[in-house]
Structure 1
Amino acid sequence: MGEDHHEALKTELYYWGTTPEDEYFDLHGIKSTKSFYTSPRGVTLFTKSWLPPNNQPRGVIFMVHGYGNDISWTFQATTIFLAQNGYACFAVDLEGHGKSEGLKAYVPNVDLVVDDCLSFFNFILSQNPTFQNLPKFLYGESMGGAICLLIHFKIPTLFNGAILIAPMCKISEKVRPRWPIPEILTIVARFAPTLPIVPTADLIEKSVKVPEKKITAVSNPSRYNGKPRLGTVLELLRVTAYINSRLSDVNLPFLVLHGSADVVTDPQVSMELYELANSKDRTIKIYDGMLHSLLYGEPDENIEIVRGDILKWLNDRS
């Protein structure tokens, strides 16, 4: 039985709740903590950390998950990998996601979510003075990539770089509802913004390539599997249009990664980000045939390629 099979088995046992969390992290040679953090606006948010075993990280990564996801299931496969390679990782379940406060998958104001993230990240830095002299990076997947760019716009000099995984800089026309549905939904949203009635494709079906991994992703007890809520969709349309209009204002070092077959977020928009950004240090990787979930939903050999590109980029800047 090969090493890859052993790793997959350990992961599956953890996801299905048969391996205790502490034992799972011990098996991977890292430390992990979890806690609740109350943001300045009074929203209680679930947070986690993943730390190198020697407590001497070479860099700090603040991570933001995507829409409908959370930090305690498939997302943390990446955080474990990064911690094993010397990076202290911190993440928070966004409002309305995972174990954080709020109606499931309802994000009425992304600007407030950005403030929550910044407040938590600054809290971590204040509690760990040694982090101040380490390289500090943002990491965001899909909607989380959009939030990372909004964080950068708000405080341009706080971070030393960003890793953007299939960032939602614009809603793909392939999943955006067709006219006149958006116009009708806009009117209805004024009266019932929390209604989960926006017609969209099954995101897991469109994001995850490996059939067995789809089963695990759907089994996440904290994941939102319903239709998108009116208010959330309209807010994401607003925010992504704003980001798309400011691509030339991006000036921090960044690595943007996208699958060429992604139909959830548009790889062409990532190309536009790369071409229009004002960053002197910018890198883009478009992976032929890969879907939206680059770091979980692909075959293991593809995930290793993406992980390797991320680690090399980080190590070269740490």
Structure 2
Amino acid sequence: MKMEVEYQEEYIRNSRGVQLFTCRWLPSSSSPLALVFLCHGYGMECSGFMRECGVRLARAGYAVFGIDYEGHGRSKGSRCYIKKFENIVNDCYNFFKSVSVQEEYRTKCRFLYGESMGGAVALLLHKKDPTFWNGAILVAPMCKISEKVKPHPVIVNILTQVVDVIPKWKIVPTKDVIDAAFKDPVKREQIRSNNLIYQDKPRL
């Protein structure tokens, strides 16, 4: 018998006053075994792309919480423009911590779940407060950018010199990110049909 799952959405504001979208999947008939916090990849979002993950974990008895980074998914901000990576880490940390201190969750173990760039977010969250987390699940984590997908060093040098002038321009020369990251053609089409997922070139 599958456990019933309750889904909730809420908007919060980060320290810079930007409205961020959050969601959660909860086992509706019992207290959760532990808390799982989702960190999505670049250009992705939680409510649709990570829905199956949230539902499966909630059916297994875990409370699952997700947040769309600034400029991602349903959150406000320039689409997929990351001014400072630490802003993403701090926004996630503040939201996850606010959930963890709630009365019904204070005694629960806390786990991070990071996919792709979200793996880097999860690692930095752990580094920020190592004793706070009980563990992490990393799925194809972006621990560094592969040399296979980096532009030629000359191009990187030129772009680095102009980044302060045109930081939001979508001019980073890369292969199609979706084709490179997802081998299953069905999954690719699901992603391409999701309007909340960013599909342009990365911003400078």
Deviation at 1:74, TM superposition (A): 2.2
Worse-matched range after superposition: 199-208 or 189-198? 199-208
- Long gaps (5+) in structure 1: 1-26, 231-318
Give the counterpart of 1:175 among 149, 152, 160: 149
Alignment partners' CA distance in 1, 2:132 and 2:18: 23
Alignment partners' CA distance in 2, 1:76 and 1:132: 25
Equivalent AA in structure 2 for residue 61 of structure 1: V
Matched, 1:118 2:93: yes
Deviation at 1:179, TM superposition (A): 1.8
Deviation at 1:85, TM superposition (A): 0.3
CA RMSD in angstroms, aligned pairs only: 1.4
Matched, 1:98 2:73: yes
Instruction: Provide the identity percentage.
Output: 44
Residue in 2 that maps onto 1:212: 186
Give the counterpart of 2:121 among 133, 143, 147: 147
Equivalent AA in structure 1 for residue 143 of structure 2: C
Which contiguous aligned blocks of 4+ residues in structure 1 show a shift greater than 4 angstroms? none
Residue in 2 that maps onto 1:29: 4
Residue in 2 that maps onto 1:72: 47
Structure (1 or 2) with the larger CA radius of gyration: 1
Deviation at 1:161, TM superposition (A): 0.5
Number of aligned residues: 203
Residue in 1 that maps onto 2:175: 201
TM-score normalised according to structure 2 size: 0.95
Alignment partners' CA distance in 2, 1:212 and 1:66: 19
Give the counterpart of 2:163 among 180, 185, 189: 189
Match of 2:147, SS?
coil
Work out whether residues 3 and 28 of structure 2, in 8 Å CA contact, stay in contact via their aligned partners in 1. Answer: no
Deviation at 1:186, TM superposition (A): 0.6
Alignment partners' CA distance in 2, 1:212 and 1:139: 24
Work out whether residues 51 and 89 of structure 1, in 8 Å CA contact, stay in contact via their aligned partners in 2. Answer: yes
Work out whether residues 114 and 138 of structure 2, in 8 Å CA contact, stay in contact via their aligned partners in 1. Answer: yes
Residue in 2 that maps onto 1:129: 103
Which structure has the highest helix share of the two? 1
- Long gaps (5+) in structure 2: none
* 1:196-245 per-position Cα deviation (integer Å, ceiling 9, x unaligned): 00011111111222222211110101111100000xxxxxxxxxxxxxxx
Give the counterpart of 1:161 among 135, 144, 164: 135
Alignment partners' CA distance in 2, 1:199 and 1:55: 49
Deviation at 1:163, TM superposition (A): 0.7
Residue in 2 that maps onto 1:60: 35
Work out whether residues 3 and 60 of structure 2, in 8 Å CA contact, stay in contact via their aligned partners in 1. Answer: no
Deviation at 1:116, TM superposition (A): 0.7
* 1:43-79 per-position Cα deviation (integer Å, ceiling 9, x unaligned): 2100000011213110101111000000122221111
Deviation at 1:113, TM superposition (A): 1.3
TM-score normalised according to structure 1 size: 0.62
1 or 2 for the larger relative contact order (CA 8 Å, sep ≥6)? 2
